[in-house]
């Protein structure tokens, strides 16, 4: 195997054993990437590097940052976009929608009748021992029945090219601002690439979100006042709160700007007060209402939970959704899909082991270095131990932690996440990527933003891609190529159709109108 010289740059060989998103063999791009590969080849390497610089400057200028280890940093955007074909995307879209519908039904059941326990689909104790199970959410009915207004479902592609669900994020998933900003920066910097690809636009997201939030309004409120509630400038995702509020044209508020009176919520304005009907809240449950949760919270609003219970304000996402994000609950989601929807899961989970079973626990403890070990309530990659890469000391301490509370851990088969050529230190090298599509729902079906956030781990061999762990991202293109019949037979997501991405037409201009549906 040899490295491939392209545009004077070296594409480092991919020896990871993972699925390479771009190449099916060294130097041979997958059909969907052929056009991009050829296009990029026309650039002079020096110019490409310069454009890469330009990309990061665009980000700095616009203030697209992420707080990493207490430090405000730009979230690096890689210039090589990640491509998804229409047929593959169609399956992902349906699979994500299915997942969100099942989780929605599960949450409604958990905070309502509890049929799922009666029928023995999941032990009740799994739910009641989840740290995010919220008893205060019991019997609070969202006016439009939607608890998951926004979901971020994390996917990875395994060694044979099959997408799998890695985790569900239905509390306050973040990252969509990077999807919007990445696209904006890429179209500015690489407009030529877009002229030969029909890429689904992503800029309708704020309008979709606002429409969903308005549908969440309390009964009888025809023209609801919707606000974004942020914890404030010190939150890692503050940039996103500002961006979404601005793009939706609604107020960005903090806890101190809102007041509850007799279960109605008001926003303090310079010229008086205004009622608030829907709150897109980016504050965690624990901090949301000091009367119900942490009494020391100064970023919440006292009385908010009872205002929601009384039906005078809607919280999006709803209280208590975190129980669905619990990684032990995750192992039951395929059963929820069968139980609530009567369907087979379109996208499988990563193979996961429940450690509450003493036999399974014993087996896992015997060869910890063969598993990925995850705390069930972690987010942002916190606490994850990649067995095969961990040192003795790490394995010993994770072993102790697991023995102490098996309920709080899961073990997963290590998946060599797919890799994507990525510009690192003036060279193009394979780096592991994942995909977080975003789904929005106002109660009239689930809409999935085409593409989503492709996160890339910038360290060689690094498998944890979270932005909070210092990763970067890629613009993610869903190609609008459904008019083109694939040359090969259409297959399921396990075997991406070889030719699904080929677009024979040469001069189609990318416009918002034609791709928007």
Query: Residues interacting with other proteins, by CB under 8 A?
Result: 117, 123-125, 128-129, 135-136, 138-139, 260-263, 290-291, 295, 302-303, 306, 309-310
Instruction: Compute how many other C-beta atoms are within 10 angstroms of the C-beta atom of residue 399.
Output: 15
3-state secondary structure of 413: coil
Q: Which is nearer to other proteins, 129 or 482 (CB)?
A: 129
DSSP string, 420-432: EEEEETTEEEEEE
Q: Which is nearer to other proteins, 34 or 141 (CB)?
A: 141
Q: Which is nearer to other proteins, 85 or 303 (CB)?
A: 303
Query: CA-CA distance, 473 to 81, in Å (whole number)?
Result: 9
DSSP 274: E
Q: Which is nearer to other proteins, 161 or 406 (CB)?
A: 406
Smallest gap from residue 107 Cβ to other proteins (A) = 15
Query: CA-CA distance, 137 to 118, in Å (whole number)?
Result: 20
Smallest gap from residue 316 Cβ to other proteins (A) = 21
CB < 8 Å & 24+ apart, contacts of 8-16: 8/44, 8/45, 9/45, 9/48, 9/426, 9/427, 9/428, 10/427, 10/428, 11/421, 11/428, 11/429, 12/427, 12/428, 12/429, 12/430, 13/430, 14/419, 14/430, 16/416, 16/419, 16/430, 16/432, 16/461
DSSP 509: P
Residues 6 or more apart whose CB falls under 8 angstroms from that of 191 comprise none
3-state secondary structure of 46: helix
Q: Which is nearer to other proteins, 42 or 135 (CB)?
A: 135
User: How many residues make up the chain in this entry?
Assistant: 517
Q: Which is nearer to other proteins, 197 or 277 (CB)?
A: 277
Query: CA-CA distance, 142 to 315, in Å (whole number)?
Result: 8
Smallest gap from residue 297 Cβ to other proteins (A) = 10
Smallest gap from residue 259 Cβ to other proteins (A) = 8
Q: Which is nearer to other proteins, 261 or 382 (CB)?
A: 261
Query: CA-CA distance, 221 to 357, in Å (whole number)?
Result: 50
Determine the straight-line distance between the first and last CA of the chain, rounded to whole angstroms: 44
Q: What is the CA radius of gyration of the chain?
A: 23
Q: Nearest-CA neighbor of 77 among 47, 95, 57? A: 57
Smallest gap from residue 130 Cβ to other proteins (A) = 12
Q: Which is nearer to other proteins, 109 or 181 (CB)?
A: 109
Smallest gap from residue 102 Cβ to other proteins (A) = 22
List the structure tokens of 368: 């910890």
Q: Which is nearer to other proteins, 136 or 456 (CB)?
A: 136
Smallest gap from residue 305 Cβ to other proteins (A) = 9
Q: Which is nearer to other proteins, 124 or 274 (CB)?
A: 124
Q: Which is nearer to other proteins, 290 or 375 (CB)?
A: 290
Smallest gap from residue 129 Cβ to other proteins (A) = 7
Smallest gap from residue 404 Cβ to other proteins (A) = 14
Strand blocks (E) in 233-330: 251-253, 258-261, 264-269, 272-276, 278-281, 314-316
Residues 6 or more apart whose CB falls under 8 angstroms from that of 496 comprise 30, 85, 88, 161
Q: How deeply is 178 buried, as exposed, middle or buried, from its count of CB atoms within 10 A (0-12, 13-18, 19+)?
A: buried
Smallest gap from residue 469 Cβ to other proteins (A) = 32
Q: Which is nearer to other proteins, 147 or 241 (CB)?
A: 147
Q: Nearest-CA neighbor of 209 among 168, 255, 240? A: 240
Smallest gap from residue 116 Cβ to other proteins (A) = 12
Smallest gap from residue 426 Cβ to other proteins (A) = 55
DSSP 435: B
Query: CA-CA distance, 130 to 325, in Å (whole number)?
Result: 10
Q: Which is nearer to other proteins, 260 or 372 (CB)?
A: 260
Smallest gap from residue 313 Cβ to other proteins (A) = 13
CA dihedral (388, 394, 396, 400) positive or negative: negative
């Amino acid at each position: 195997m040899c490295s491939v010289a392209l545009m004077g740059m070296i594409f480092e060989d991919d020896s990871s054993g993972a699925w390479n998103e771009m190449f099916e063999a060294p130097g041979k791009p997958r059909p969907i990437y052929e056009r991009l590969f050829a296009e990029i080849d026309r650039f002079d390497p020096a110019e490409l590097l310069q454009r890469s610089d330009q990309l990061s400057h665009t980000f700095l200028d616009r203030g697209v940052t992420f707080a990493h280890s207490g430090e405000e940093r730009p979230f690096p955007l890689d210039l090589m976009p990640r491509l998804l074909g229409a047929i593959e995307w169609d399956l992902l879209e349906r699979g994500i929608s299915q997942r969100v519908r099942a989780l929605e039904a599960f949450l409604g059941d958990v905070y309502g009748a509890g049929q799922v326990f009666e029928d023995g689909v999941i032990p009740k104790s799994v739910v009641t021992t989840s740290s995010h199970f919220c008893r205060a959410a019991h019997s609070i009915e969202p006016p439009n029945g939607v608890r998951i207004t926004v979901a971020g479902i994390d996917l990875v592609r395994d060694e044979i090219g099959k997408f799998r669900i890695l985790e569900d994020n239905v509390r306050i998933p973040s990252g969509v601002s990077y999807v919007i900003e990445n696209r904006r920066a890429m179209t500015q910097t690489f407009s030529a690439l877009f002229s030969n690809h029909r890429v689904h636009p992503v800029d309708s997201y704020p309008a979709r979100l606002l429409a969903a939030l308005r549908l969440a309004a309390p009964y009888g409120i025809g023209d609801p006042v919707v606000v974004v509630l942020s914890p404030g400038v010190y939150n890692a995702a503050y940039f996103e709160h500002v961006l979404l509020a601005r793009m939706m044209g609604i107020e960005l508020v903090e806890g101190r700007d809102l007041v509850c009176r007799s279960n109605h919520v008001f926003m303090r304005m310079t010229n008086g007060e205004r009622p608030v009907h829907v709150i897109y809240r980016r504050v965690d449950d624990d901090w949301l209402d000091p009367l119900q949760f942490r009494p020391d919270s100064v970023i919440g609003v006292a009385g908010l939970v009872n205002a929601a219970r009384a039906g005078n304000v809607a919280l999006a996402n709803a209280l208590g959704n975190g129980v669905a994000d619990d990684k032990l609950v995750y192992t039951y989601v395929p059963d929820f899909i069968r139980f609530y929807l009567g369907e087979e899961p379109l996208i499988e989970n990563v193979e996961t082991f429940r450690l509450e079973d003493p036999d399974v626990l014993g087996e896992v403890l015997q060869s910890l270095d063969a598993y990925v070990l995850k705390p069930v309530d972690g987010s942002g990659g916190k606490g994850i131990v990649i067995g095969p890469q961990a040192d003795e000391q790490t394995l010993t301490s994770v072993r102790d932690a697991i023995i102490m509370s098996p309920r709080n851990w899961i073990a997963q088969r290590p998946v060599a996440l797919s890799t994507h050529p990525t510009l690192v230190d003036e060279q193009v090298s394979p780096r592991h990527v994942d995909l977080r599509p975003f789904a929005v729902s106002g109660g009239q079906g689930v809409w999935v933003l085409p593409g989503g956030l492709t996160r890339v781990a910038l360290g060689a061999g690094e498998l944890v891609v979270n932005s909070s762990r210092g990763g970067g991202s890629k613009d993610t293109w869903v190609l609008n190529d459904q008019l083109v019949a694939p040359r090969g037979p259409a297959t399921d997501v396990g075997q991406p159709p070889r030719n699904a991405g080929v677009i024979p037409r040469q001069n189609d201009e990318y416009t918002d109108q034609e791709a928007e549906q």
